[in-house]
Amino acid sequence: MINMHEVIETNKMIEQENLDVRTITLGINLLDCAGSDLSEVNQKIFDKITTVAKDLVAAGNRIQREYGIPIVNKRIAVTPISLIGASCCRTVEDYVSIAETLDRAAHAVGVNFIGGYSALVNKAMTAADELLIKSIPKALSSTERVCSSVNVGSTKTGIDMNAVKLLGEIILETAELTKDNDSIGCAKLVVFCNAPDDNPFMAGAFHGITEGDAVINVGVSGPGVVKKALESVRGADFETLCETIKRTAFKITRVGQLVAQEASKLLNVPFGIVDLSLAPTPAVGDSVAEILQEIGLEYPGAPGTTAALALLNDQVKKGGVMASSFVGGLSGAFIPVSEDQGMINAVEAGALTLEKLEAMTCVCSVGLDMIAIPGDTKASTISGIIADEMAIGMVNQKTTAVRIIPVNGKTVGDTVEFGGLLGHAPIMRVNGFSCENFINRGGRIPAPIHSFKN
């Protein structure tokens, strides 16, 4: 039988070290809502989401109540909308009407984000994909809860550089249209390479076309728990360090597995995966940067940071993978800037630059995340940053992403406040040398040689 020491340990993780389940994300297939009449498609989408997800928030609240573990977010991911709108959307406004339907559905069922206003253009864009991408600025500025993502490359297909070029412009336009709110629209737009079909985390979640009709994916978190555990092994060697991270990751993930199974049972929707990510929040003691500092760095960004992050990411996976029957999504350590107080401190201290962050993304689970840059950054420069990040993902066979915010009217030295889980961020310096001729070439970058495994 469970003993008092174990009960106290678990409750200390929850109460003092910010252990929580970051999100229960319900994936919903919308392929059966497609049709040639736009208003009919919108109605079907609204009806399907509000039917399948009607009990999602209640189920999350019930699990939270019964197990005493906070379930921070209840969210929905849907099939990439470029596919659903392909047969009925002829204009940008047509696509925006679907975004507005998604937003209404999200409000109706009480979820705080709905992801899947997306296009998968790993190799090239169809006319529908291109139309959806062009509608993103309007869609994100006219809705509150809709999140968008575009997958522009993969190890198997290479990188669609036409889409990369277009997205540089789209990100700037989104920043312009949401300038009254510090360009927050860009915080809801992710550009991916090797995007996973089952990612429960926003803003990049969508319900992959390889998935079933509905699925429950759960994202756990707990950087504070790992940090606390590492405090007890200060000065110990790497073996001890790694064992401690693994053991902690295992415990955290077991909770995620329990919550996922319970949610699956309550909603009568199959359990998909647990995403074992260390996802920070702006709260003190809920920071991946603080783990890196505990490992032995003065600030993230100091020499040794990439090695420390590589080790952390790997041990989280090794510990977590044994704790769940299905692991997927992004799984690893997130290194967003604005959502992690330790990262913000590192930028403000001058320890962490965009270039070092790029190096760190080679070994973390996602990529350049929640980074505020000057509003006058050129579209081609943003495309260049995206291309670099996509190349890292393509060559290393991992997911990489860019969620970057060129904050309209602000420059290096300013700070931007997004609020809530999105946090605040100092504007980071961007290398000002031009890559325009490179981006303007057009076409696609071929898949790397090691992708040919057949």
Partner 1 sequence: MKRTVITVVGKDKIGIIAKICTYLANNSINILDISQTIIQDFFNMMMIVDTSKAPKTFDEIADELDQIGAEIGVVVKAQREEIFNKMHRI
List Cβ<8 Å contacts ≥24 apart for 37-41. Answer: 37/88, 38/88, 38/89, 38/94, 38/97, 41/84, 41/85, 41/88, 41/98
* Span of 3-11, 190-198, 291-299, 306-314 interacting with partner 1 by CB under 8 A: 3-11
Question: Which of 294, 63, 331, 318 minimizes the C-alpha distance to 220?
Answer: 331
Beta strands 424-426 and 415-417 are antiparallel
Q: How far is the CB of 16 from partner 1 (least distance, A)?
A: 12
76 vs 217: CA distance, rounded Å = 10
Could you tell me the smallest distance in angstroms from the CB atom of residue 243 to partner 1?
Answer: 16
H/E stretch holding 424: strand 424-426
Q: Provide the minimum distance between the beta carbon of 452 and partner 1 in the complex, in angstroms, as a whole number.
A: 41
Closer to partner 1 by CB, 20 or 103: give it: 20
Stretch that binds partner 1, among 88-96, 189-197, 252-260, 348-356 (CB under 8 A): 252-260
Element housing 427 (H / E):
none
CB 53, CB 267: distance < 8 Å: no
Nearer to partner 1, 65 or 450 (CB): 65
Using rule CB under 8 A, residue 7 touches partner 1: yes
Query: Are the beta carbons of 17 and 248 closer than 8 angstroms?
Result: no
CB of 19 or CB of 421, closer to partner 1: 19
Is residue 254 part of the contact set for partner 1 (CB under 8 A)? yes
Q: Give the Å distances, CA to CA, from 56 to 197, 202, 216, 259, 265.
A: 20, 17, 10, 13, 12
How far is residue 137 from each of residues 124, 131, 140, 183, 217, measured CA to CA in Å?
20, 11, 5, 11, 28
| 113/271 with CB nearer partner 1 | 271
Residues in region 157-186 near partner 1 by CB under 8 A: none
Exactly one of 3, 36, 232, 454 binds partner 1 (CB under 8 A); which one?
3
- Segment (H or E) for 122: none
Please identify, using beta-carbon distances, which residue of 13 and 368 lies nearer to partner 1.
13
Q: Of 8-16, 111-119, 293-301, 432-440, which part binds partner 1 (CB under 8 A)?
A: 8-16
Among 2, 235, 437, 452, binds partner 1 (CB under 8 A): 2
Q: Which stretch binds partner 1 (CB under 8 A): 102-110, 143-151, 251-259, 406-414?
A: 251-259
Nearer to partner 1, 21 or 136 (CB): 21
- Contact between 1 and partner 1 (CB under 8 A)? yes
By beta-carbon proximity to partner 1, the closer residue of 308 and 323 is 323
Instruction: Mark 170-194 as b/e (b = at least 16 C-beta within 10 Å).
Output: bbbbbbbbbbeebbbbbbbbbbbbb
Q: Which is nearer to partner 1, 174 or 253 (CB)?
A: 253
Closer residue to partner 1 in complex, CB, 20/197: 20
- Applying CB under 8 A, does 8 fall inside the site for partner 1? yes
Rounded to the nearest angstrom, the gap between the alpha carbon of residue 310 and the centroid of all alpha carbons in its chain is: 19
- Among positions 125, 128, 255, 368, the unique one binding partner 1 when judged by CB under 8 A: 255
- Phi then psi dihedrals of residue 400, to 5 deg: -130, 160
The closest alpha carbon to 434, from 359, 383, 369, 373, belongs to 383
Q: How far apart are CA 337 and CA 347, in angstroms?
A: 8
Separation between Cα atoms, residue 7 and residue 291, nearest integer Å: 24
Q: Binding mask 206-245 vs partner 1 (x if CB under 8 A, - otherwise)? A: ----------------------------------------
Query: Is residue 6 close enough to count as binding partner 1 by CB under 8 A?
Result: yes
For residues 76 and 111, the answer to whether their CB atoms sit within 8 Å is: yes
Instruction: Tell me the longest C-alpha to C-alpha distance in the chain.
Output: 67
- Among residues 11, 87, 91, 434, the one that binds partner 1 under rule CB under 8 A: 11
Segment near partner 1 (CB under 8 A); pick from 7-15, 112-120, 154-162, 171-179 = 7-15
Q: Residue 404: which of 22, 392, 391, 387 has the closest Cα? A: 387
Minimum Å gap between C-beta 53 and partner 1 is 22
4 binds partner 1 (CB under 8 A): yes
> x/- binding map, residues 64-93, to partner 1, per CB under 8 A?
-xxxxx------------------------
Q: Which is nearer to partner 1, 273 or 387 (CB)?
A: 273
Identify the residue whose tokens are 């277009």. Answer: 166
- Residue 251 binds partner 1 (CB under 8 A): yes
State yes or no: residue 31 binds partner 1 (CB under 8 A): no
Rounded distance between C-alpha atoms, residue 377 and residue 431, angstroms: 10
Of 151, 154, 257, 293, which one interacts with partner 1 (CB under 8 A)? Answer: 257
Q: How many residues bind partner 1 (CB under 8 A)?
A: 20
Note the residues at the interface with partner 1 (CB under 8 A): 1-4, 6-11, 65-69, 251, 254-255, 257-258
